A and B are shown apart, each in its own frame.
Chain A
Amino acid sequence: MTIDLQSVRKEFVARDGARTPAVEDVSLTLGEGEFVVIVGPSGCGKTTVLNMIAGLERPTAGAILADGRPVTGPGVDRGVMFQDYALFPWRTVAENVAFPLRFGPAGAGLSGAAIGDRVDATLTLVGLAAARDKYPHQLSGGMRQRVALARLLSYEPKVLLMDEPLAALDAQTRTILQDELLRIWGQDGPAASRRTVLFITHAIDEAVFLADRVVVMSSHPGRVREIVPVDLPRPRNDATRADPDFQRIAQHIWSLIKNEAYRAATS
């Protein structure tokens, strides 16, 4: 699925009528099977862009098209992974992963056994088969993140929208999950089997490691500063992180957001 943002603008209106522009004139296309990462300082509207593509928020002006059709609300073709994972605390790992199939339209026509098979396969894919009967509160942050990923993958949305999914994790877990994310996305397989991904982070090295293109945003209001192509070869692995090109691209992105980041950190 391709996603097309055309001159999208978003204003938030406060109770007293004051208008705050959050996103200004964002135009961006996510190609079929493309992995696009947005980086930018806090307040640059990256989450707002993701929420608008998800259909959770409406743009004030401009258009958002999914495969050419306007986005009017949430849909199972565009799956979201939330920053705080939004797991259902009263459901076990397996029940969380089964949720979109049991209660949503994606599972229509699937028998209970078929749903069970899909859940098992997805849990195995993300390495959670042993934790299937645990509740979210019994899991570490990294495992919760995997549950959220499994729940997202279980109903096979065509576009994966991921809002800082690795932000809450320690550095080692992050590195491991970056590798796994690319494996699950299908970087070892043919490009045609990959899903379209929009991934938000504020970690530049993470963005460069994952992305086909990095969208650098600036804040107040959020605008696209530059779109940086990452032509590092796939599959990517630890060697990629040591690649001089990787360093060069990361340095370039840092130079783009450095000033704003300093300002945000000292204000």
Chain B
Amino acid sequence: MNARLLRMATLPVALIALWEALGRALGGPRTPLPSKVAGEAALLIMSGDLPAALAQSLGRVFSGFAIAAAIAIPLGIAMGRLRAVERNLDPVIESFRPVAAIAMLPLAILWLGAGSGAAVMLVAYAAFFPILIHAVAGAKGVDANLARAAATMGVSGATLARSVIMPAAMPQIAVGLRIGLAVAWTAIVAAELAVGAKAGGGASGGVGQMMFAYYAYSIELNRIIVCMIAVGLVSLALDRLMRFALARAMPWIET
């Protein structure tokens, strides 16, 4: 175990040491160094600024993600089961899908202002597509015999969708939810960076806006790197949490 840990740590530690050495030897006064980044990280965490910014970003991610899931799952099941719904909606959805979430930003800000509303909308938009596409595939892939069995017990329509199709499609929907959450977290940083620019470093908050302020106003590269690392760690934690929650929600799946 310790030998394995040592092997895993060797390369990262070496790279950080190299960065520190090169930065000191060749860099100027603003060059970010691991030692400075660590110091800034400690300051930002102790002051509560970084936790507060992350909490605000996470709140937006969860809101946007919840909105996306609440629309995409039922819609995806309807599209997967009802040919007419799919035929009508598929062209519309497929023409929006290549439009990046960030390209929705001007509309989002015009409609909802340069605050949480716009950021939540972008997150919801970004997370919507992966969840929808997996829900459609999941609903289509449901074992036909299960639906037939339910039909012989007099179960059909919305009750069938709720009691059979949705749980049977759940493993596939879970994949969509995991991807959707990861995409949502990516989108929130981009959205807050951009909303931050529009708001002029105002009160929109969040970790993306925090990065924008360090970039546009105080030029603190060390702090930007702290934010980047925090974004990566939160993303990892979110995925682990999601996998844990999904495994708990689907005890019938052997893992």
| Chain A residues at the B interface, C-beta cutoff of 8 Å | 54-56, 73-76, 78-80, 82, 84, 86, 88-91, 99-100, 102-106, 135-137, 155
Contact = CB atoms under 8 A, between A and B. Distances in A.
Nearest to B144: A86
Interface in B209-255: 250-252, 254
Contact of B252 (A73, A80, A135): A135
Contact of B152 (A78, A89, A90, A136): A78
A90 B167 CA distance: 7
Interface stretch (B50-58, B107-115, B153-161, B197-205): B153-161
A102 B153 CA distance: 10
A106 B150 CA distance: 12
B146 interface: yes
**What 5 A-B pairs have minimum CB-CB distances, sorted nearest first?**
A86-B149, A100-B153, A104-B154, A104-B153, A80-B152
28 contacts: A73-B151, A74-B151, A74-B152, A76-B152, A76-B153, A80-B149, A82-B145, A82-B149, A84-B145, A86-B143, A86-B146, A88-B167, A88-B168, A90-B168, A91-B252, A99-B155, A100-B153, A100-B155, A102-B163, A103-B150, A103-B153, A104-B154, A105-B154, A135-B251, A135-B252, A136-B252, A137-B254, A155-B153
Nearest to B164: A88
A74 B155 CA distance: 10
Nearest to A135: B252
Contacts of B164: 88
B148 interface: yes
Interface of B: 143, 145-146, 148-155, 159, 163-164, 167-168, 170, 250-252, 254
A55 B153 CA distance: 12
A75 B167 CA distance: 23
B154 A74 contact: yes
Given A74-B154, A103-B159, A137 B149 contact: no
A55 B250 CA distance: 33
Given A82-B149, A102-B163, A103-B153, 14 more contacts: A56-B148, A74-B151, A75-B154, A79-B153, A80-B148, A82-B148, A86-B143, A90-B170, A90-B252, A100-B155, A103-B159, A104-B150, A137-B252, A155-B153
B250 to A, nearest CB: 7
Contacts of A86: 143, 145-146, 148-149
Nearest to B166: A90
B153 A106 contact: yes
A137 B152 CA distance: 23
A103 B167 CA distance: 14
Given A82-B145, A90-B250, A100 B154 contact: yes
A84 B145 CA distance: 9
A199 to B, nearest CB: 16
A229 B149 CA distance: 31
Given A88-B167, A90-B168, A104 B149 contact: no
Nearest to B250: A90
Contact of A99 (B143, B153, B168, B254): B153
Contacts of B148: 56, 80, 82, 86
B163 A103 contact: yes
A104 B170 contact: no
B153 to A, nearest CB: 4
A9 to B, nearest CB: 22
A133 to B, nearest CB: 11
A90 B253 CA distance: 8
B156 to A, nearest CB: 8
B22 to A, nearest CB: 55
A135 B154 CA distance: 23
A73 B143 CA distance: 20
Contacts of B170: 90
Given A80-B149, A82-B149, A86-B148, A106 B154 contact: yes
Contacts of B143: 86
A81 B160 CA distance: 18
A97 B121 CA distance: 43
Contacts of B251: 135
A86 to B, nearest CB: 4
A54 B164 CA distance: 20
A195 B190 CA distance: 66
Among A82, A89, A135, the most chain B Cβ lie within 10 Å of the Cβ of A89
